Structure 1
Amino acid sequence: MPAEYARLGLDSSHLQRHIAWDIGAAAVTRLLSKLLDAPAFLSSYSRLLIDLNRPLGSSGSIPVQSEDTDIPGNVGLDPAERNRRAEIMFAPFHDRVAAHLDERAKQGRATRIATIHSFTPVFLGVGRPWHAGVLYDQAIEFGQAVLAGLNIDGALNVAANEPYVISRNGDYAIPVHGDDRGIPAVLIEIRQDLLASRSGIEEWAKRLAAALPAQQTKAL
């Protein structure tokens, strides 16, 4: 969160919450990238400024409210500021991902995409029982294979398309970088309390590495 945005008018404690970033997701992604020897792409800006996994212009792109928290610094933005954030924060990330996928296609290399996210154990007062979710739209075979790989011993509560579902109006990476290109793509959600320690992060990175085809997967 660059200093010029003055925390978007929020108390600093809010920037440690899920509304500002997917807690634990980056650490899992970095380790998973090493385990799979797969390229990973990570954002360097808070999603309160602009959410890289929301279509530009959607209500979730630059939220004026996240969960039950108002975001004062996002209220009444003029088109110039919206375009500035898109040009500085959104476009460079997705342009680089797209260029990488173009190059792989040019080389005839098979690709699969796994986007890594985390979710809160409780959302607006409602508990979430899942340890993880595997979300997908067109990549049904890939999604079900990853789901089976994570739930191989039956010890986890892992569900398909929980705690969210993929939609073109609400998601960006899976529809645009995956489905539109014909690349099998899944979004993996891990409950945040399971990523509260280094051991938890390592455990989940290893689980995902075992469930994903190492030679064909890239992480976002």
Structure 2
Amino acid sequence: MALNSGDYPTLLLGRDEVSPVQEFNASGPSPFLFTCDHYGRLIPRVLGHLGLPEEELGRHIAFDIGIAGVAEALSQALGAHLIAQRYSRLVIDCNRPPQMASSIPLISEATTVPGNEGLTAETAEMRRRAIFDPYHRRIDEIIDQRIAAGRPTVLMALHSFTPVYAGIVRPWHIGTLYHRDKRLPPLLLTRLRAEPDLVVGDNEPYAVSDETDYTIPVHGEARGLINSGIEIRQDLIADQSGQQQWAERLACVLGDIAVLLRDQRLI
């Protein structure tokens, strides 16, 4: 059952509930700064299960399946700072502009989210203040610190995607996502396509835009950082073995790209 505004507490998260922000390798020397907007699937206790059964909360509608394991292992392999967001995208999507309807979805894919029905502007704002703002504020702080220290920063947003969407099979194993910044994506595409077993998407299965994305437009493009998103197909990273294999593969790819960026004096 959805909460109404009268049932909603002053604070969304209890004092014993974890912060939305989780970080790994904060002092890592790599030029790459990784973000993971859909890392976790936690739901604040007061929201219950948003009116959904557990099997729905284990689907892509709630989080990016497999990307947490890849992101952590990749961060470790490269010595790169990773900033991850622990709460479910069904509570508030941290890669959507808060003013967009998709920020707190009433329907995700074909699933109605009862706990998101009838929200007032006040309760929607409470979710933003509790989860969205701390995550993006921390990304801003880290970028500010790196710039002040003269550290090169290449922003990479890590995501995963479903093998089939709306009945359409997606053939890509991995895709690069971008919008205005065209410096990094061609390097990624060339290096990934050199791997003979990969089908690589160019702005597939999604393209970045100001209406559908937040992290890359706001933290990457608006701040002039070299940036790209990476999407990995979820069936390839559904278990720990797949996550480790992809982290190792991407560590090699990104290690090569870091050398190219330095050679081109981009970092």
Alignment TM class, shorter chain as reference: over 0.9
What is the TM-score of this pair, normalised by structure 1? 0.95
Tell me the residue number matched to 2:78. 36
1:119 to 161, 186, 202: 161
Hey, which of these two has a bigger chunk of helix by percent? 1
The yes-or-no answer on 1:24 pairing with 2:71 is no
Deviations 1:79-120 (A, max 9, x none): 111111001100000000000001111111111011110001
Q: 1, 9, 18: which is aligned to 2:51?
A: 9
Distance 1:20 1:91 in 2: 19
Could you list the structure 1 runs, at least 4 aligned residues long, displaced by more than 2 angstroms after superposition.
213-216
Q: Which has the higher contact order (CA 8 A, sep 6+)?
A: 1
2:171 paired with 1:132: no
Query: Aligned match of 2:136 in 94, 104, 124?
Result: 94
Q: Give me the whole-angstrom Cα distance separating, in 2, the residues matched to 1:196 and 1:182.
A: 34
With 82-91 and 143-152 compared, the bigger mean Cα shift is at 143-152
Identity %: 45
2:145 maps to a residue whose letter is E
Q: After TM superposition, give the deviation of residue 138 of structure 1 in Å.
A: 2.2
Match of 2:126, as an amino acid? R
Q: By how many angstroms is 1:214 displaced?
A: 5.2
Superposed displacement of residue 3, structure 1: 2.5
Which sections of structure 1, spanning at least 5 residues, go unmatched?
none
Which of 213, 223, 230 lines up with 1:171 in the alignment? 213
1:48 is paired with a residue whose SS is coil
Q: What is the number of residues matched between the two proteins?
A: 216
Gaps of 5+ in 2: 1-42, 262-267
The TM-score normalised by the length of structure 2 is: 0.78
Q: Is the 1:150–1:207 Cα contact (8 Å) retained in structure 2?
A: no
Residue aligning to 1:187: 229
